[in-house]
Amino acid sequence: MGNYNRIAGQNIERIAALSDGIFAVAMTLLVLDLHAPAAASIHNNGDLVQTLIALAPKIGVYVMSFLTLGIFWVGQQTQLNFLTRADRDLAWLHLMFLFFVTMIPFSTALIGEFIVYRAALLIYWLNILLLGASLFCTWRYGVRAKLVSEDMPVTMHRGVERRIVTAQSLYAFGAALCVINTYWSLGFIVLVQLNYAIAPKVGVLRKI
């Protein structure tokens, strides 16, 4: 058993392939919660417009979650690119991260149905928090176990961790805004995501 544990989970390419597949499925499942209006309920152009307007919150949540998965996919791919090898513990840590990825379609569907309820928003935020925490743990373990490239500067190690912590702090602030209104929370979270997706080189935003 000891020899098995030493050789298990060492293939970074296999971990990356599994990650890509799970992210692809999770992103696809998000759109399955969006349903075109039933033809029987649409009698004119006005009915269609009103139905689409009513669908807007779900579309907004879909966009937000797609951005969430896109940001975390880029983050984990960046980490995998710096890893020269893996081991059993890192493989299981990454599987934990992927487990929380698979929960995004559920938490998205929940907030899509109950967008005005704080509990639904907090569950969605908890999903994001666990994604960030597991990604942080995977990276920290990889560095401490010396699985990363030897010529990688220490500033890069700290930079990756700082980026995760900063993002999670902003998400937490966004979640706290649900005390005022859930739409304020979601709006702020989307702004945070757009900042990380677009990465504007403007003032303080370039440091986030």
Q: pLDDT (tens digit, 9 = 90+) per residue, 98-122?
A: 999 999 999 999 998 898 889 999 9
Please tell me what DSSP assigns to residue 203: G
Q: CA angle, corner 107, sides to 54 and 74, nearest 5?
A: 105
Query: Do the beta carbons of residue 8 and residue 88 sit within 8 Å?
Result: yes
Which two tokens mark 89?
């513990």
Distance CA 67, CA 192 (A): 10
What pLDDT was estimated at residue 56?
77
Dihedral, CA atoms, 80, 85, 91, 94, nearest 10 degrees? -20
Least confident range of 107-111, 143-147, 148-152, 192-196: 148-152
What pLDDT was estimated at residue 108?
92
Mean of the per-residue pLDDT values of the chain:
84
- Stretch 46-51: mean pLDDT: 74
